[in-house]
Every structure is written in structure tokens, then in C-alpha cells.
Structure 1
Amino acid sequence: MGNDGGSIPKRIELVKEKQKEVRPDQNALKIATWFFCALSKRPLQDPVVVCGLGKLYNKDAVIEYLLNKNAYGDGDTICSHISTMKDVKTLKLAANPAFKDSNEASIAHFDQGMVSRFICPITMKEMNGKLKFVYLETCGCVFSEQGLKEVPSSTCIQCNKSFKQENIITINPSPVEQEQLRALLRQESAEDNVIAESSSSASRNKRKREDNGEQSISKKPAIELEVGVTASSSSPSTHSGIGGNSVTAVVNQKVQEHLVNASSKNKQSKAIQSIYSQKKDKNVTESYLVRGTFNRYAA
């Protein structure tokens, strides 16, 4: 307990101090980053791919993850930015002639001096994290940054493919650079989603216009047929073909019936009938102007 005469308390027992931050072993972290797949945690071996954050993966592990998202426990955390194989780039690595299978990387004995599988083809330096390595986005060839600067050129010395300065991408960048790249990937993903939504809405509108066009075309023959029937019934003289004579006869009959009905309604008076009637007496001296009418001057 202390202060009872039997023991002397120490400062650490009386004063609570802030616990020191536990930092991971930087050497072990470096080996895990440059010698092992970031997803499967197995040693890197050809073919090796790199993601937009600059992390290294075995290609078969990425394929397994895309086929089954539960293939690796922390796959969603590590590879959340990888949705297709287009999100990774296959690297062209130069093999290290000094590497042997007996020198297989293992974090358990990283202090024994590990040998990397890959080297820079210009400087022959191992890709073990001690030097900064980069790859060309256009072709995927990997070099050390120092070696690429020693041979200034606008074409790759391995595949002779042209590249620009912005096509030089760092492998396994610092955590700060990775956060910047992650934010850039999120921005690009949001822009792609907006473009995809706009293109899908445009395609939907196009399909609607096409459907409306097909409906109007399908209605047009019916309308033309109706107009044609109306025109044929209203103008019998334009009929031709098999049913033309029968339609004309029906129309003529209707016209005659109409005239008969009109004439029956408007009967002529006796005076008018007397003008056009013939008298049996041929000695009548009246002219047709006064025939059948009263005239005091008549003889």
C-alpha cells in the first residue's frame, strides 16, 4: 500500500502517466508491404498487380476476391476500391537472379536479411522498400525512381513505349499520399456514377421516344383506312375495283329517294298545273299566259 513504514511508493504508483503510443515495427511493416500480397498476405509472385493506391497484390488473389468477396476476411476493408480487374494494373517486374526459393520471404525471420524476388533493371537494386520504386502507367514496367532519373527519356527502355511525366506512379506511397489518392478515387467514382446515371436516363428517354414513334406508326394505317372509307362513301365517282359499282348504285338510289321526297313535300298549285296541262277543247283561244286563269277581257 505504501506510507505504512514498510515500503516506499514510486512515482508511477502515485501519478497516472499517459500511456505511450504503441508503434508497429517499421522494419516488419516494410517487409509486409514489399514482400507480401496486401490481400492474401502470401509472398508476392508473378503476376503482380497494383491498385490505384499503389498497393501490391497477387493477381490470383484479386480474382478470388472479385469472385467471392468473403474469400478473405478483411477484403472489403483492403480492396473496397477494387470492383473490376480494370481497377488494377499488371506490372512487368524484372526477376532477381540472386533470389532462390530457399530465400522465401517470411516476417518471422525478417532480421536474417531477406532477398527480394524483383529488382530494378537499370540499377540492379532490389525492390525491398529501401529505395523508392515507380511504375509506368502506360506499360506497367517497374523501375527504381533513381534509375529512371539516371536515364532520362520519354520512352520506356524495356518496351519502348512512350510515356509522360504524369504517367510515373509511385509504388507503396506514404500514408499521407495514400489518403490523397483515396480521396481522388472517391471523386472519380462519384463522377463516374453521375455520368452513368445521365447516360442511363438518356437511354430511357430514347427508348420512350422510340416506343411513342412505334405507337404513332401503328395508329397511322388505321387512321388512313378510316379516312379512306369516309372519302369513298362521300365521293362515289372515285370508286374503282370490285365494289365500286355497287356503292355508286346505292348512292344514286339515295339521291333519287331524296328528290322524290322533296317533290312530294312541295306540291304544285292548280294554277301552275293548268299551265302545263292540255285542254280537250282545241277551240280555246287563250294563250298559255292566261290559260287556266280568270281574265275579264277574254272573249
Structure 2
Amino acid sequence: MGNDGGSIPKRIELVKEKKKEVRPDQNAMKIATWFYCALSKKLLQDPVVACALGKLYNKDAIIEYLLNKNAYGDGDIICSHISNLKDVKPLKLAANPAFKETTGASIAHFDQGMVSRFVCPITLKEMNGKLKFVYLNTCGCVFSEQGLKEVPSSTCIQCGKPFKQDDIITLNPSPAEQEKLKIALEERKTKAKEKKKKNKTITKQDSSEDMIAESSSSTAPNKKRKRENNNEEDSKQSSSKKPLVKSEVNVTTNSGIGGNSVAAVVNQKVQEHLVNTSAKTKQSKAIQSIYSKKKDDTVTESYLVRGTFNRYA
């Protein structure tokens, strides 16, 4: 019943303490980030890609997400910064010769039996989360940070492509490093948007200038044609206004030896032709007498008998 001296309360019952924060198992976190896809939660298999924040994905899962944003429940939270395949980089990973498909990825035996599929090509250390790994954003080759420092170079040791210090991105970084990568990613996006706007304005100006040039070039030949047409019309009008010139036989046009004799023959034939035509067109005296007027003609008949036969005349 209580308060009868038969039960002794414990300190936990009398004093309320703050609940301890539940911390996730670090081994489980390492396996989840280094052995499994961050989106589909399946084992990493070639081809593997990485985003600008250093997370690892299976390429098939990213394609499914881009085709259907609801394919995975937490896709909007994990891949909100991925809008196309250009936002991820295909990784060139060195295969681990000690890996076997039968080797299971057991969370309970992480320190004992976990074997990674991939290793560093320089140090041959496994990519299992115990060491820090990076990839080059220029070519996608993956190395351990320790191995990359051991062989300092401005070109990739595996493929030979040049890179800068800014091109080295950490895989599965700490939360603090991930925040820095987010800020850098946002700055890149803003710069890319500004460049696109500038390019659009430049292209618009160029297109407008091209249109003006084309219009001017198209109007120039039209103006020339109009001028030519006007000149032709003026020449036609001037030629129509000129008086007609009678065709004459030009004797002086014949050049060379014997030109004068030929001209003389032609002139003689022309004169003969004119004489013949004038002779044919001559009227007889009877016809000329009908149409000729006499000064001493007197009218003796009246208008009634004029032009008729009169036996008394």
C-alpha cells in the first residue's frame, strides 16, 4: 500500500534525470555511407557516381530518381541538389582483388570481416571509411588522401589529366566540411545563372544586329533594281521622243577596195525602181481633165438638167 516501511524507494524513482541522447552506432554509419548507395540503400556497384557534396550513389538509382522524383521516399531530402546527370560525376574506382561476392557486409562484424569492393590505386588501402578518400572533379579518379599526398603532382597519376587543388573533393565528408561544400555549390550555381543571363543578352544583341544587317543588305539590291528600272524607263521615253529618221542608202558605209562601184550600182538600181513606180502611178489626160478645174467654165444648164443627156445641146 505504501508508506508502511515495507518498501524503500530508489534514487531513480525520486530524482528525474535528463534523457541521454541516442547516438547512432559509428560502425553502422560507416557501412551505410561507404558500402551502400545513399539513395537506394543498396550495395554500391559499378557504375558509381558522386555528387558535389561527396555522397556515393549507384548511377541506376540516380537515373530512376530523375525520371520519377517519387521513386524513393527521401529522395527530395537527399538529392535535392541534383537536377540532371551533369550534377554527378562518374567515378573511376580501382577494384579490390581480395573482394569476393560471398563476403557479406555485416554490421556486427565490421572490424573483423568487412571487405570493400574498392581500394586506393596508390596505397592499396580499402575504401571502407577508416581512411579519408577523395576524388578529382576533372576526371573522376578516386584516391586515398594519404596516397595523393605521398605522390604530389598537378596531373592525375592514373589518367594524366591536369587538376587544381579546388578540384579535389572529399568523399563522405564530416558535417562541417559538407556545409562548406554546400556554400561552394550555391556560389557556383549563382555564377552559372549570371553567365547564362549575360550570354542570352549577348545573343539577343547579336541576333538584332544580324537582322538589321540582313534587312539593309536585302533593301540595297532592291534600291539598285529600282534605279536600274527607272534608268531603263527614262531611256525608253527618250528614245520614243526622238524624231524618226528616214532610211537612206548610205554609200559611205561600204569600206575597202571597190566600195564606190558597189555603191554606184545600188544607187542606180534604186533610181530605176523609183522611176518605174512613178510611171505606173501617172494618171492619164482624160482622168486629169475630170479632176482639173477650168477658169472659163460657165454654167448654162440649170441644176435640173446638169450632168444629163440633152439632145438640144
TM-score (norm 2): 0.64
Let me know the Cα RMSD of the aligned residues: 3.5
In the TM superposition, 1:150-161 aligns within 5 A as: 150-161=150-161
Give, in whole Å, the separation in 2 of the partners of 1:161 and 1:205.
37
Give, in whole Å, the separation in 2 of the partners of 1:199 and 1:115.
50
Larger displacement relative to structure 2 (162-171 or 114-123): 162-171
**Given that residues 2 and 8 in structure 1 are in contact (C-alpha distance below 8 angstroms), is that contact kept between their aligned partners in structure 2?**
no
Larger displacement relative to structure 2 (160-169 or 88-97): 160-169
Q: Classify 1:223/1:94 alpha carbon distance in 2 versus 1 (closer, same or farther; 3 Å).
A: closer
Deviations 1:49-86 (A, max 9, x none): 11100111111111221222222111111111111212
Q: Residue 126 of structure 2 aligns to which amino acid in structure 1?
A: E
**Given that residues 66 and 84 in structure 1 are in contact (C-alpha distance below 8 angstroms), is that contact kept between their aligned partners in structure 2?**
yes
Q: How far does residue 149 in structure 1 lie from its aligned partner after superposition?
A: 2.2
What's 1:20 paired with?
20
**Given that residues 118 and 127 in structure 1 are in contact (C-alpha distance below 8 angstroms), is that contact kept between their aligned partners in structure 2?**
yes
Q: How far does residue 201 in structure 1 lie from its aligned partner after superposition?
A: 4.0
Instruction: State the aligned residue count.
Output: 242
What's 1:199 paired with?
199
What's 1:176 paired with?
176
Q: Which has the larger radius of gyration?
A: 2
**Given that residues 2 and 9 in structure 1 are in contact (C-alpha distance below 8 angstroms), is that contact kept between their aligned partners in structure 2?**
no
Larger displacement relative to structure 2 (89-98 or 108-117): 108-117
Q: Residue 59 of structure 2 aligns to which amino acid in structure 1?
A: K
**Given that residues 37 and 57 in structure 1 are in contact (C-alpha distance below 8 angstroms), is that contact kept between their aligned partners in structure 2?**
yes
Q: Residue 95 of structure 1 aligns to which amino acid in structure 2?
A: A
What secondary structure is seen at the aligned counterpart in 1 of 2:102? helix
Give, in whole Å, the separation in 2 of the partners of 1:131 and 1:78.
24
Q: Classify 1:92/1:226 alpha carbon distance in 2 versus 1 (closer, same or farther; 3 Å).
A: closer
What secondary structure is seen at the aligned counterpart in 2 of 1:103? coil
Deviations 1:3-58 (A, max 9, x none): 56454444433443322211111110111000001111110011111110011111
Q: How far does residue 208 in structure 1 lie from its aligned partner after superposition?
A: 5.4
What's 2:77 paired with?
77
TM-score (norm 1): 0.67
Q: How far does residue 213 in structure 1 lie from its aligned partner after superposition?
A: 6.8
What's 1:37 paired with?
37
Give, in whole Å, the separation in 2 of the partners of 1:244 and 1:141.
86
What secondary structure is seen at the aligned counterpart in 2 of 1:115? coil
Q: Residue 55 of structure 1 aligns to which amino acid in structure 2?
A: K
Give, in whole Å, the separation in 2 of the partners of 1:18 and 1:127.
39
Q: How far does residue 198 in structure 1 lie from its aligned partner after superposition?
A: 3.5
**Given that residues 51 and 87 in structure 1 are in contact (C-alpha distance below 8 angstroms), is that contact kept between their aligned partners in structure 2?**
yes
Q: Classify 1:160/1:219 alpha carbon distance in 2 versus 1 (closer, same or farther; 3 Å).
A: closer
Q: How far does residue 212 in structure 1 lie from its aligned partner after superposition?
A: 6.7
What secondary structure is seen at the aligned counterpart in 2 of 1:49? strand
**Given that residues 27 and 107 in structure 2 are in contact (C-alpha distance below 8 angstroms), is that contact kept between their aligned partners in structure 1?**
no
What's 1:118 paired with?
118
Any unmatched runs of 5+ in structure 1?
A: 233-237, 249-299
Deviations 1:252-288 (A, max 9, x none): xxxxxxxxxxxxxxxxxxxxxxxxxxxxxxxxxxxxx
Q: Residue 95 of structure 2 aligns to which amino acid in structure 1?
A: A
What's 2:234 paired with?
239
What's 1:99 paired with?
99
Deviations 1:187-229 (A, max 9, x none): 2212222332333344445555666777788899999999999
What's 1:253 paired with?
none
What's 1:275 paired with?
none
